[in-house]
Structure 1
Amino acid sequence: MKKVAKVFLYSLLGLILLLVASAGLFIYKVKNGFPVSYETEPPAIDFPANKPAVLLFSKTTGYRHGESIDASKPVFRQMAERNGWFVYETEEGGAFNPEQLKQFRAVVFNNSTGRVLNDEQQQALSQYVEAGGALLGIHGSGDDSHHWPWYENNLLGARFSHHPLNPQLQPTTVHLDTTTTDSTLTRQLPPAWTHTDEWYVFFTQPEGVRVLSHIDGDKIVANGNVLLINDKNFGMGKYHPVAWYRTVGQGKTFYTSMGHHAPVWQDPHFVRLLENALHWAID
């Protein structure tokens, strides 16, 4: 009987250690990603004449929002068809070279997480933006797994802390910011609408940006504590930005923390927000 109890206790201890190790590995992957390789071969791209080109980049080496990425692609194709754009979809970094980047009017980091570009590709993207290009980021593209100061400063203007966990997805009201006067960004959007998402919490308000939309941070549960993490029970306050934009050199950046799961791509207001952002970037 004692032998059975000892085997049971050792098995239980082993299971606990395995769970702790797995949780630690998952947290490390979310924060740092596991870059396996960087694709450096420029792809063969047939750019149609007289169509503004958009690079839709969905590579991940950190947490993968697979359902959202898959749901987004047909929506971007429909946008392209409506507006006469050419969308090139890829998860390989080879297109991030100066010669091909300059043929795109906008680059979209579509829930890209982790370190997805090598040093030369990062430099090519930053130079592309500063010379007049546009970079747009969606949801996971704003987490803390990228480890790229230029990107954090010029796309986000803030450092990601956490997202709520209980509940993870919450409905709340998204408000257009009253200071936004750019009619391209606000076109066909109501002053407010209800949206369900995983609401990212940043350590500070984004700096050097103009806010397009916000939520009331006092109306969500922002607690992100889990396992041994017990310092994430805070939010961004009542004024909680969820979409913002800015100029960078001669170029532009736009970011929205919305876009966690597949159903967001059925929200016509969320889709219109991104379509407006692309018009703003391209035009």
Structure 2
Amino acid sequence: MKRVIKIVLWSVLSLLVLLGAAASLFIYKVKNGFPVSYETEAPQIDFPAGKRAILLFSKTTGFRHGASIDASKPVIKALAEKNGWFVYETEEGGAFNPAQLAKFSTVIFNNSTGEVINDEQKRALEQYVENGGSLLGIHGAGDDSHHWDWYEQNLLGAKFSHHPIDPQFQVADVQLDPQRNSLFSKLPSRWSHSDEWYVFFENPRQKGFNIIYTINGDAINPSGNILFVTSKNFGMGKDHPVAWYKQTGKGKTFYTSMGHNETAWQNQNFVKLLETALQWTNNQ
């Protein structure tokens, strides 16, 4: 009998160790991504004459929002056809060189997580934006796996903390903030949406970003506490931005924390937000 008890106890202990190791590996991947090689060869791209070009970049080395990425591609291509844009879709970083970046009007980090481009490519993207290009980020592009000061300061304006755990997805009313830009002022004033609501340590409004949409952060459960994590039980308060933009040098940046899964791309209000952001970055 004692032997059976020992076997059971060792089995339970081994299972707990394995679960702990798996959880630690998952947290490490979310925060840092896994080491990868960086693509440096410039691709062959046939840019059609007379069309604004969009670089749709969906590479991930951290958590992969696969369903959202897959759902986004046909939607963004449809928006491009509607507006007369050209979309070059890739998950390789070779296009992040000064010569080819200069041919794009907008770069989209489409739920890109982890360190997806090398230091030289990061500098090329920074200069591209500051010289008049545009960078647009969706959901996972705002987590804390990028480890890139310029990116955090100029695209996000805030450092990611966590997202709610229980429940992970919550319905909230998305409310249009008073707008100075006439293009964004035409967006729907209020709509309901379910998403994984990111919590940031700072409010980008306080960093000079123009807020497009907010939710009432007091109306959701923002706690991200799980297992041994006990410090993630806070939210952003009533003024909880979920989409914002600003001028960066001569260029433009836009970010929305919405878009965790494929249902976002089925919401016409979310799609309209992205279309309007692309019209703004494409100078329409």
TM-score range, shorter chain: over 0.9
Query: What are structure 1's unaligned runs of at least 5 residues?
Result: none
CA deviation digits over 1:170-203, x for unaligned, max 9? Answer: 111001101x12122233x221111111100001
What is residue 277 of structure 1 aligned with on the other side? Answer: 277
Q: How many residues are aligned here?
A: 281
Give the residue type in structure 1 aligned to 2:153. N
What is residue 76 of structure 2 aligned with on the other side? Answer: 76
Distance, in Å, in 2 between the alignment partners of 1:52 and 1:31 is 34
What is residue 144 of structure 2 aligned with on the other side? Answer: 144
What is residue 220 of structure 2 aligned with on the other side? Answer: 220
- For the residue of structure 1 that corresponds to 2:54, the secondary structure is strand
How far 1:8 sits from its partner (Å)? 1.6
How far 1:15 sits from its partner (Å)? 0.6
Query: What are structure 2's unaligned runs of at least 5 residues?
Result: none
Distance, in Å, in 2 between the alignment partners of 1:87 and 1:200 is 28
Which range moved further: 134-143 or 4-13? 4-13
TM-score by length of 2: 0.98
Q: Do 1:62 and 1:145's aligned partners in 2 also have CA atoms closer than 8 Å?
A: yes
Distance, in Å, in 2 between the alignment partners of 1:241 and 1:77 is 27
Matched, 1:182 2:196: no
- For the residue of structure 2 that corresponds to 1:49, the secondary structure is coil
What is residue 194 of structure 2 aligned with on the other side? Answer: 196
CA deviation digits over 1:119-143, x for unaligned, max 9? Answer: 0000000000000000000000000
How far 1:208 sits from its partner (Å)? 2.2
- For the residue of structure 1 that corresponds to 2:240, the secondary structure is strand
Distance, in Å, in 2 between the alignment partners of 1:243 and 1:144 is 17
Alignment of 1:64-103 (within 5 A): 64-103=64-103
Distance, in Å, in 1 between the alignment partners of 2:120 and 2:97 is 8
Distance, in Å, in 2 between the alignment partners of 1:168 and 1:128 is 36
Alignment of 1:203-282 (within 5 A): 203-206=201-204, 207-282=207-282
Give the residue type in structure 1 aligned to 2:43. P
How far 1:16 sits from its partner (Å)? 0.4
CA deviation digits over 1:222-257, x for unaligned, max 9? Answer: 011001000111100101000000011100000000
Q: Do 1:79 and 1:275's aligned partners in 2 also have CA atoms closer than 8 Å?
A: yes
CA RMSD of the aligned region, Å? 0.7
TM-score by length of 1: 0.98
Distance, in Å, in 1 between the alignment partners of 2:208 and 2:165 is 29
- For the residue of structure 1 that corresponds to 2:233, the secondary structure is coil
How far 1:204 sits from its partner (Å)? 1.1
Give the residue type in structure 1 aligned to 2:78. Q
CA deviation digits over 1:148-167, x for unaligned, max 9? Answer: 00000000010000000111
The structure 1 segments of at least 4 consecutive aligned residues displaced by more than 4 Å after TM superposition are: none
Distance, in Å, in 1 between the alignment partners of 2:73 and 2:45 is 18
